[in-house]
């Protein structure tokens, strides 16, 4: 039952506390440019909501048979707040309980959550981009409109970019802090032996 160093307990606490930002700032963003939209159309994904030019994007997308984007499309919004709250609690508990297995578990939990979120996003994007209305006005044979998970992609006249927003970056930093702490703990304890 290895205990943790003080610095590790502090970084884990910091890592967990960073996640609180998820309740106040957007996690993910999708930006689309077209010749007619030089200023770009933005969509921000929050822990329990979607904001930005969602209506305009939906209105444009219906020509090619994509569904209207609505909060109700995402059951995730119903339980994400509890998952993140649980992760934060677990991180703070790790810092208090002060055990290395807890640290390992917290790190694994964070990574699992992040991976699950990306997989979930990919699956939604696949469905959204492929499951098209067969009566759409414009049907380009063989064309699907799955948005990129991360990075940019040309979709007809739109250049679409998908990537973390500020909250997402805080998540990534929290993960990096957890991993770094774990490595630091393993590395320093090995040295002692």
Size of the site for another protein (CB under 8 A): 30
- Report the distance separating Cα 182 and Cα 172, nearest Å: 15
Give 39's contacts (C-beta < 8 A, 6+ positions apart).
Answer: none
Sequence-ordered alpha helix ranges (H) in 138-165: none
DSSP run (H or E) holding 41: strand 37-45
30 bridge partner residues: 43, 162
78 binds another protein, rule: CB under 8 A: no
Residues in 129-148 that interact with another protein by CB under 8 A: 135-141
CB-wise, 1 or 39, nearer to another protein?
39
- Which of 4, 12, 31, 174: binder of another protein (CB under 8 A)? 31
CB 1 to another protein: min, Å: 25
Give the number of residues written for the chain: 193
CB 7 to another protein: min, Å: 9
16 binds another protein, rule: CB under 8 A: no
CB-wise, 82 or 187, nearer to another protein?
187
CB 36 to another protein: min, Å: 4
Contact predicate 91/15, CB 8 Å? yes
Phi-psi bin for 136: left (phi > 0), alpha (psi -120 to 50), beta?
A: beta
Residue ranges binding another protein (CB under 8 A): 31, 33-36, 38-40, 135-141, 152, 156-157, 159, 161, 163-164, 166, 169, 172-173, 176-177, 180, 184
């Amino acid at each position: 039952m290895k205990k943790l160093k003080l610095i590790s307990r502090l970084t884990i606490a910091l890592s967990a506390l960073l996640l609180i930002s998820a309740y106040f700032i957007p996690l993910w963003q999708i930006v689309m440019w077209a010749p007619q939209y030089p200023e770009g159309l933005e969509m921000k994904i929050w822990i329990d909501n979607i904001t930005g030019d969602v209506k305009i994007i939906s209105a444009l997308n219906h020509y090619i048979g994509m569904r209207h984007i609505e909060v109700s499309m995402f059951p995730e919004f119903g339980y994400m707040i509890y998952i993140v709250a649980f992760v934060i609690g677990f991180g703070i508990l790790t810092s208090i309980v002060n055990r290395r297995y807890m640290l390992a578990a917290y790190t694994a939990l964070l990574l699992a959550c992040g991976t699950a979120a990306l997989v979930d996003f990919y699956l939604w994007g696949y469905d959204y981009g492929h499951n098209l209305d067969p009566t759409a006005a414009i049907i380009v044979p063989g064309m699907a409109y799955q948005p990129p998970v991360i990075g940019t992609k040309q979709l007809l006249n739109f250049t679409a970019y998908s990537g973390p927003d500020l909250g997402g970056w805080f998540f990534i930093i929290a993960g990096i802090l957890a991993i770094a702490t774990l490595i630091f703990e393993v590395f320093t304890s090995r040295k002692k032996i």
